[in-house]
Structure 1
Amino acid sequence: MSPFKLLIVITSFYEGIKGTVKFNGSLSESFPIFSDMKHYCVLAPNLFGILSLLLPYALNETEVNVCIRTGEDGILFNLARLPAKTKVRMPLIKEMLFANYAVLATHLEESLQRFIGRLTHACNEFGLTISRKKTNVMPQYVSNVPCISIDTHTLEMVNDFTYIGSTISNHFSLNAGLNTRIRKAATGMARLTKRVWKKNMLTINIKMRVYQARVLSILLYCSVT
């Protein structure tokens, strides 16, 4: 199969797709689906594999790294153990891969701009495109706000970044993520006031099941309890 025909096949998986909802044995009318990535598509693992190969290819000649000092004794929150010379690891990182998202880490603005430039060039070679709207820069403890760009587009500076329901803050606080989770759960509960909570025909058992599915799942998403 030629590359052009293969591209047509891959494009057909994502363009003009529609879906229906089945309830009580009946199907709803079809509606369009707009999605940048179908995580259950058979092509998804291949795209993730391409991205995992692309990052080392783009950054293999860069020497700038970020050192992370971690303990190996199983005591996660014992900061007094970090200055120790034994049972301590100091891995050097420059990129982190999260499914179809990537994080570039560096101490210097010039290094980050160089990383972005090399990644953009590698994406062009692989036939991929970096989303300008979804790419942000999160500076931490800097005196001057960095200016990072992709081609002629200047990337937005943010203090908080949300990825799959989890909020990361530039000051390492969990408050932003917790407040966002509580706010979304409270909004979901308020929207069900007339449809569920005030419906006398619904039993307590049904209301509890709705609460667990619609409210509690949002509040405890990605949490281990």
Structure 2
Amino acid sequence: GKILARVLLNRLTQHMEDGYLPESQCGFRKGRGTVDMIFAARQLQEKCQEQNRDLYTTFVDLTKAFDTVSREGLWKIMRKFGCPDKFINMVRQFHDGMLARVLDDGDSSDAFPVTNGVKQGGVLAPTLFSMMFSAMLSDAFCNDEETNIKIRFRTDGKLFNLRRLQAKTKVEEGSVRDLLFADDCALNADTEDKMQQSMNCFSNACKSFGLTISTKKTEVLHQPAPQKPYVEPVITVEGEPLKTVDKFTYLGSTLSRSVNIDDEVELRIAKASSSFGR
């Protein structure tokens, strides 16, 4: 079973890399890792500062994301993404007939069927979830780049001359909205209204795909433009305001609204001192 699952994973991974996963997804992909997303998040902070813009980032926490995936919906998504029916049926066999028991103070309940979620512990689970998450994001934003952050850049080696970014030639523009690592999602916008609009779209798509946003664990980080006073934003999910923070630990790295890396350095020094002191 494990060998077959690995064979299916290799074929599915190759297929998904053919443009079916968003460029912003770095979870469980060859040649990508948490360091890429941390670098992207810090670069976004720095570029917004350089270009005198606000940055709003909402770190979305999904409640038991892997366990709540609709399997019937997943098979439809796989078919939509071009997976053959025979391949889908083979993946489906790994999920059919799953049973679970609940342990309570040493006592075990009767077995009951598990009909939702990807198979935890299986090698296919992360890629199957990424496929579903990709479809959900596509449904949420429908290739609408209105809420994206536009970043102007040059690749001709003139790294530190900001006035060159105002030129009409040799300047490229990229757009950023989400930073993804498996089910870790950071949504970005450069105005409070756009941030709220993105959260509304994301929340509606989550409901359609059977996912639930944990409003207690979802947090907002607002980085004001230079020389601009800080105003705490009010971002809501279905009318419930989200917590606003001054710093957030993203994939193990501390991001601060002051764009100061000192918090991260101090934390790592403290951890090193603690380890040496044992």
TM tier, shorter chain?
0.5 to 0.7
Given the superposition, is the C-alpha separation of residues 82 and 183 from structure 1 closer, same or farther in structure 2, using an over 3 Å criterion?
Answer: farther
* 1:16-38 deviation per Cα after TM superposition (whole angstroms, max 9, x unaligned): 79xxxxxxxxxxxxxxxxxxx97
2:257 to 159, 170, 176: 170
Rounded Cα–Cα distance in structure 2 between residues aligned with 1:64 and 1:147: 17
Matches within 5 A, 1:32-43: 41-43=123-125
Instruction: Kindly indicate whether the alpha-carbon contact (under 8 Å) linking 2:220 and 2:243 is maintained by their aligned counterparts in 1.
Output: yes
1:147 to 234, 240, 252: 234
Give the match for residue 126 of structure 2. 44
Given the superposition, is the C-alpha separation of residues 188 and 72 from structure 1 closer, same or farther in structure 2, using an over 3 Å criterion?
Answer: same
Matches within 5 A, 1:1-225: 3=72, 9=95, 41-60=123-142, 61=144, 63-74=146-157, 76=159, 79=162, 81-141=164-224, 143-190=230-277, 192=278
Q: Give the count of matched residue pairs.
A: 169
Structure 1: gaps spanning 5 or more residues: 18-36, 193-225
| Residue 120 of structure 1: how far off its partner (Å) | 0.9
| Residue 77 of structure 1: how far off its partner (Å) | 5.2
Give the match for residue 5 of structure 2. none
Instruction: Kindly indicate whether the alpha-carbon contact (under 8 Å) linking 1:52 and 1:97 is maintained by their aligned counterparts in 2.
Output: no
Given the superposition, is the C-alpha separation of residues 85 and 159 from structure 1 closer, same or farther in structure 2, using an over 3 Å criterion?
Answer: same
RMSD: 3.5
Instruction: Kindly indicate whether the alpha-carbon contact (under 8 Å) linking 2:147 and 2:198 is maintained by their aligned counterparts in 1.
Output: no
Given the superposition, is the C-alpha separation of residues 76 and 99 from structure 1 closer, same or farther in structure 2, using an over 3 Å criterion?
Answer: farther
Rounded Cα–Cα distance in structure 2 between residues aligned with 1:112 and 1:62: 13
Given the superposition, is the C-alpha separation of residues 62 and 83 from structure 1 closer, same or farther in structure 2, using an over 3 Å criterion?
Answer: closer
Larger Rg: 1
Instruction: Kindly indicate whether the alpha-carbon contact (under 8 Å) linking 2:129 and 2:182 is maintained by their aligned counterparts in 1.
Output: no
* 1:68-116 deviation per Cα after TM superposition (whole angstroms, max 9, x unaligned): 1222124555546434444322113333323322222222222212211
Give the match for residue 109 of structure 2. none
| Residue 52 of structure 1: how far off its partner (Å) | 2.1
Structure with the greater relative contact order (CA < 8 A, sep ≥ 6): 1 or 2? 2
What is the TM-score with the length of structure 1 in the denominator? 0.61
Rounded Cα–Cα distance in structure 2 between residues aligned with 1:122 and 1:159: 28
Identical residues among aligned pairs (%): 32
The one-letter code matched in structure 2 to 1:182 is I
What is the TM-score with the length of structure 2 in the denominator? 0.51
| Residue 131 of structure 1: how far off its partner (Å) | 2.6
Structure 2: gaps spanning 5 or more residues: 1-70, 74-91, 104-118
Rounded Cα–Cα distance in structure 2 between residues aligned with 1:84 and 1:46: 44
